[in-house]
Each structure stands twice: as C-alpha cells, then as structure tokens.
Amino acid sequence: MTNALEPTILCIASFFKGNDFIRECKSQGASVVLLTREKLLKEDWARDSLADLIAIPGKTSVQSYLAAATHVARYRRISSVVALEEYDIVTAAHVREHLCVPGMGTTTARYFQDKLAMRTKADAVGIRQPEFVTLANYESISEFMKRTSPPWMLKPRIGASSMGIKKLWAPEEVWTSMAELDARPAFHETAPFHLLEQYIPGVVYHVDSLVARSKILFASVERYGAPPFEVSQFGGVNLSHTVKHGSQEERVLLALNKKLLAGFGLERGVTHAEFIRTDSQERAKSNGIRGDQFHFLEVAARVGGAYTADTICAASGLKPWREWAKIELATAERPYVLPAVRQGYGGLVVSLARQEHPSTATYTEPEITYRVSKPWHVGLVVGSLDYDRIIDLLSQYAGRFSKDFTAIAPPEETPEQYL
C-alpha cells in the first residue's frame, strides 16, 4: 500500500501537455498522480515520472474529476492540485475546495478562466479594457450596441486561443448569432455562456509571469506580429518576440501586469496575460508609448501555449514549466528562489503547413534553439542577445515560410471534438 504520508502533486490535464512540470516534480522528490481523459492514454506522457496515471472514461465533468481525486486521496496525501491546461483551472479549484487542499479557490479561479468573470473583476480593479456585456439580458445587449460602435467581438466565456470568437458588424448579426447559439443542444454552449465586447484594433502583447508568495518574481513581455484572432481567422504566419529590454512598452506592460495580478489575488503559480496597444506605430514613435494606450484582453493561470515557454527559454534560459513545479513544491522552510536569468531575446515563427511532416533542414542559422515537430505544422524558435538579429531572422522566416510551407484551414468553433 502507498505511504499515506508521502506528499502527492495531483495534476489535471484535459489536453496533452505538462511533461516538463511532471518530470521536475519527480526530480524534486514529489510523487505525481495525473488525471486525464481516457482518449489521451496513448499520448507520450512522462510515465517514468508518474506514480499513477488515472484515465477518466467518456466525456469528463467536474464530478468525474472529483470522484477520481477522492479515490486518490484515500491512499495518498494530496499536498497540491495543479491544472496543466486552461480548461481545467476551475475544475482543479473545485477539487482543492472539496479536499481542503491549499491553493486558489473557485471564485479566484474564475478570474483566470471565465472571460466574463475576468472582465467584471478588471472593472473593479480599475484596469482599462474593452467595453463589454454578457449575452444574458436582451435590454442590456440592446443598450450596449447603441452606446458603442461596431464591430463587436462575440466570445465564449471559457476557451483558449481564438476558438469560437466572431467579429460582428451589425445588430442583426448579433441577434442572429445569439439565436444560433441558443439553438445548440448543450446548455453550456448557448448565448449566456458568451459575451459581446467592443473591438479594439492594435498590436497585441503577452506578459508571462512566475508568482510566489504573491510577488511577481519573473515576467517576460512579448509582442505578436499579428493579432492571434486575425491569424486564426485568415491564416498566415504567426510571429512573436521579446520586446526590447528597458523600453517604454516593457515598463508600461510590467506595471499593468503587476496591477492586474495583485488585483486578481494570485498567490503563486504562472500566468499568461494579453494586452492590446491601440495607437499606431507612427504615433507611438512620435509621442512615446503611454499606459492609456493599453487595454487588458485576458489572463490565464497557466504556461502560455503555442511554444511560448520555448521562446522564453531561448531569451532567458528559464524553463517556465520546471520553475512552476518548483514554486508548487516550495515551503516556508524552503522558499522558491528564482535562478539566474539571461537578459536576451527570443522569437517564434510558426504556421500551419501544406506538408504533413515539413522539413526545416535548410534553415541552419545558429540562433535556432527549437524546431516544432507536429504534423501539419512548421515552426522555429530563435534566441540571441541581439534584439535586431531576432527581428531580422523573424522577418526572413516569415517570407520563407509563406513560400515553403504555409497553409490555411477554417477556424475551429469549439473544443468539443477534443473534449
């Protein structure tokens, strides 16, 4: 029988990710139990670092994860519950509350998953963001469309990337879209589980943080080459790179991120927050970058997806998944200590590919630190101490990718096919 006094990290993952977190927990002397969906059993999980892997059959729910976690708790002392994926943030909080395990509760967890909850909380904290309305009350929706100008963004309250987001240009489109949503058989896919917000054009940034003892110990600021929504809807090459250290945009975004996380009440873990700068590049160059140009878009208590962790590592030498594991295992007697961080720059270029297994063998620059290996995708991560070199490489690769690889696919509506 398992030693009931041995601390156990209980991980929940509805998608295949987090192996580096699992391995680091094991290397730090912790036992790790993973709860996942039965259809993910064939994935290449870090089984050599797992004390147990429990697969939940059928379509998972909060109740099914609670039942599985309770079973684990009969034989192991669960010291921490971690959601490795954005869809599981609130589920993990339910498990913590049920088992009385320390960590983020369901109210705080919703600020990092439910877009309506995070919008409402950001309003209370005083964070500038797009105007919004929940799709629950017809009168409120009508008033919102009268006082704001189209286009508007229709967004699922829960969801990652740009999945299920639509840009609408007229009230008739809004009402029609709501009717279509309400006709869906699943209640959680109907209109009240969405919100409508004002569309703001601009440059999108993301800030990725490590938090311990309610303090941000590390934060990386990166800028997308094009807004993720535009790439998801119309295709193309997705770019992202570290902003220049010491720049005004970095200083402003670090301050906004600090205000955001303090107001949302995160005590420990990792975050991925996105902001949009509304001013044009030309005006920004002439006037400088101001805080009032930035609007908060969203935040999640997870490691950034789409190879963000690899880009951060290329720039700083820091491995977010592994540092997160150390934070979760830290104690008052053995607090988390941030390792030395390199002040370099990272960049990412990634795209859907026409080839099932595209080859980047002709891309031979020494700055390449990681090559994406995923069917029908192509991508490179680069790192350098020279900011201009990163920008130059990304510019070259964007053109070459468009010629050599890039394909376009219809945007995905919901994650149901995966869940």
What global pTM score does this model have? 0.91
In 174-291, at which residue ranges do the beta strands (DSSP E only) sit? 194-198, 203-212, 215-224, 238-242, 269-277
Q: pLDDT tens digits for 161-175? A: 567 899 999 999 999
Helix (H, G, I), strand (E, B) or coil at 378: strand
Q: For 181-190, 289-298, 349-358, which range has the lowest pLDDT when averaged over its residues?
A: 289-298
Share of the chain above pLDDT 70, in %: 89
Helix crossing, 308-316 with 320-329: angle to 10°? 90
Selection from 363, 369, 344 nearest residue 405 by Cα: 363
Task: Write down the pLDDT at residue 60.
Answer: 86
158 versus 211: which is more confidently predicted?
211
| Neighbour count for residue 338 (Cβ, 10 Å) | 13
Cα 357-226-158 angle, rounded to 5 deg: 85
Q: pLDDT tens digits for 325-350? A: 999 999 999 999 999 999 999 999 99
Residue 383: both structure tokens together: 């790192």
Selection from 363, 336, 328, 335 nearest residue 349 by Cα: 363
CB 78, CB 101: distance < 8 Å:
yes
Residue 149: both structure tokens together: 């100008």
Q: For 7-11, 223-227, 267-271, 376-380, which range has the lowest pLDDT when averaged over its residues?
A: 223-227
CB 280, CB 297: distance < 8 Å:
no
Q: Quick one: average pLDDT of 132-149?
A: 96
Task: Write down the pLDDT at residue 349.
Answer: 95
Given a cut of 70, whether residue 114 has pLDDT beyond it is yes
Residues whose CB is less than 8 angstroms from the CB of residue 55 and which lie 6 or more positions away in sequence, other chains included: 36, 37, 38, 40, 41
Task: Write down the pLDDT at residue 200.
Answer: 92
Element (H, E) at 327: helix 320-329
Q: For 157-171, 190-204, 254-268, 310-324, which range has the lowest pLDDT when averaged over its residues?
A: 157-171
Q: Quick one: average pLDDT of 17-46?
A: 96
Could you give all domains of the chain from N- to C-terminal order, each with its CATH number?
Answer: 7-103 (3.40.50.20), 131-198 (3.30.1490.20), 203-404 (3.30.470.20)
Q: pLDDT tens digits for 231-284? A: 555 567 899 999 999 999 999 999 999 999 999 999 999 999 999 998 655 454
Q: Are strands 368-371 and 345-352 parallel, antiparallel or unpaired?
A: unpaired
Q: pLDDT tens digits for 49-101? A: 999 999 999 888 999 999 999 999 999 999 999 999 999 999 999 999 999 99
Q: For 246-260, 282-296, 310-324, which range has the lowest pLDDT when averaged over its residues?
A: 282-296
Residue 418: both structure tokens together: 């995966």
Mean pLDDT score of the chain, rounded to an integer? 91
Given a cut of 50, whether residue 359 has pLDDT beyond it is yes
Given a cut of 70, whether residue 417 has pLDDT beyond it is no
Helix (H, G, I), strand (E, B) or coil at 98: helix
160 confidence band (pLDDT: 50, 70, 90)? low
354 versus 279: which is more confidently predicted?
354
Q: Quick one: average pLDDT of 357-364?
A: 95
Query: What order of strands is seen across the sheet that includes strand 132-134?
Result: 132-134, 194-198, 152-156, 166-168
Given a cut of 80, whether residue 32 has pLDDT beyond it is yes
Rounded CA-CA distance 283/279 in Å is: 7
Helix (H, G, I), strand (E, B) or coil at 318: coil
Rounded CA-CA distance 344/389 in Å is: 11
Task: Write down the pLDDT at residue 292.
Answer: 80
| Neighbour count for residue 79 (Cβ, 10 Å) | 18
